[in-house]
Amino acid sequence: MEPSQSQSLPLLLLLYLAVTCASAAAAEGGESRLRYDSCYGCICEAASRCNRSLGCDDGACGLFRITRHYWLDAGAPTLPADARLLNDAFERCATDPFCALRTAHHYMERYRKDCNGNQQVDCHDLALLHFLGPSCEGTMPSAYTDEFDNCRFNALLLGAGDV
């Protein structure tokens, strides 16, 4: 790992995202007043470096790399103006940072469990659910693990708080 590059740049992106997302989410109101806390921020860091410009590749879309299957399991949330039956409702939601966050939240609410058997449901469990699915068996690919652990370490150092 190259400490200076792999640690500081993603962290800046995370903080930028947290700030911009928090203000835009506040404007939306209601249920969508979700925030990119250090947990969801680090899951998207691991998934895509929180790159908000990402479209869809091989069926995985947006900054959380959400698949249609994942989105459906999460109750198929849509952008405020969109109907669920719209042909591209999935792509439009998964490539929108707030709709994608909402999707991940719903998914975690539905499947949350103690994946790693440490007697609590914490951010590490949410990451395992995100990358491995509801059974959350096995281990995350090391590229995800490295990015996630690194991000969590930095976030907790900065006092972003545990979730």
Q: Kindly list the residues in this chain that would bind ligand NAG in the complex (CB under 6 A).
A: 49, 51, 53-54
Contacts of 119 (CB under 8 A, 6+ apart): none
Q: How far apart are CA 57 and CA 121, in angstroms?
A: 31
CB of 29 to ligand NAG, least distance (A): 29
Question: By Cβ distance, which residue is nearest to ligand NAG?
Answer: 51
CB of 51 to ligand NAG, least distance (A): 4
Distance (Å) of CA 105 to CA 98, 100, 133, 159? 10, 9, 14, 22
Q: How far apart are CA 64 and CA 131, in angstroms?
A: 10
Instruction: Report the residue number, 65 or 124, with the smaller CB distance to ligand NAG.
Output: 65
CB of 97 to ligand NAG, least distance (A): 13
Instruction: Report the residue number, 50 or 115, with the smaller CB distance to ligand NAG.
Output: 50
CB of 9 to ligand NAG, least distance (A): 8
**DSSP state letters, 99-153:** HHHHHHHHHHHHH---TT-SSS--HHHHHHHHHH-TT--S---HHHHHHHHHHHH
Instruction: Report the residue number, 25 or 63, with the smaller CB distance to ligand NAG.
Output: 63
Instruction: Report the residue number, 48 or 78, with the smaller CB distance to ligand NAG.
Output: 48
